[in-house]
Amino acid sequence: MRIVKAPVPVVLALFLAACGSEPAPPPPSASVGQPGGPAFDSAFWQVWGDGLAEVAAYDLIQPRYKAPRAGVAVTIFVSEPFSNSVRVKADPGAHPPEDEFPVMKLNFLKDYQTGVYRYTEMQSSFVALKPVNARPSGSLTKVSFSSQEWCGHVFSQLLLDPASIRLMSHSYFDGEADENRVLEYPADGVTEDSLMHWARGMAWPVVEPGETRTVPLLTSLATARETHSPVAWGQVRLSRGAETVRLTTPAGVIETEMATASINDGARTIAFHIEKAAPRRIVQWETNSGEKGVLLASDRMAYWQMNQPGGEEALKRLGLAQKPARTY
């Protein structure tokens, strides 16, 4: 993989904040999904059971206030043990074995400028790597989202149960404030917050190359924030292309396959270019609203151990650089 020569400035704290102790490696045994769910076999765990995180950096174009904004995005995929009772990462020995299951966590961060002030956004999605709560493997079990800028900040969270979803939201803005409600959860429902997992073959439903499947879709917390609309159910047509496309990126020339989500009859579309070879990184994504992310570089690292002076050197492996002092 070629690292981009000209690093892109980014706030170091974007992803090197303290994260607690090193994630415990997931169980080595394979978990076979229920019908329609992905099977996470020994080949999967050979990659994702090493106790490291895959950290990837992207050039970002983010539409905001009717203008495209240049920025940086970071995705962090890492497997972790998860507690079903409290819906957080399970510390070693803190919970009975029957309460724990493995998840694939995605931390998805965006950082971009809007005039005099910046937006920083973060989404944390947790997809179960075995059947749990009467749902197949590859089902989202929790997602949280936060957005910060000079006007104020918001925080939202979904907890997904067997037949319902608990929504909690807190916002600075009038007309939003505090919200707690319960949503229905259709048997075949999916969430927009799990689409990055789905594109990589880590989330339900399984859609083979050349196939298409239409299922209910719950609006993502980020989309609800950006459009000032409630989290609600719609429909999505999920499809995978059978063709291979070679993309030239700062990370090199990569053979990719296309995974597409067409939401509410094409009102919104998200196209993912997924690396054909394992580990099937997200090489590029774009939406019909103008958002676009292009891979700069990626690396597997124990980033939570790199929070001391000098740890910022690891940014170079991602095509990034520490933000100079007195810049915003």
Instruction: Identify whether the C-beta of residue 256 lies closer than 8 Å to the C-beta of residue 284.
Output: yes
Please give the Cα distance from 144 to 285 (Å, whole number). 21
DSSP 187-256: TT-EEGGGHHHHHTT-SSSP--TT-EEEEEEEPPHHHHHHHT----EEEEEEEE-SS-EEEEETTEEEEE
Provide the whole-model pTM: 0.90
- CA-based nearest residue to 61, from 13, 8, 16, 12: 8
Listed range (20-24, 103-107, 217-221) with the worst mean pLDDT: 20-24
User: What is the pLDDT, as a whole number, of residue 19?
Assistant: 59
Evaluate if residue 59 carries a pLDDT over 60. yes
Q: Span 167-181, mean pLDDT?
A: 93
The answer to whether the peptide bond before residue 205 is cis (omega within 30 degrees of 0) is yes
Structure tokens at 295: 């891979």
pLDDT, one tens digit per residue, over 265-276 is 999 999 999 999
Domain ranges of the chain: 8-322
pLDDT grade for 228, boundaries at 50, 70 and 90: confident
- Higher confidence at residue 137 or residue 22? 137
pLDDT, one tens digit per residue, over 110-130 is 999 999 999 999 999 999 999
pLDDT, one tens digit per residue, over 14-56 is 444 445 544 544 444 444 444 568 999 999 999 999 999 999 9
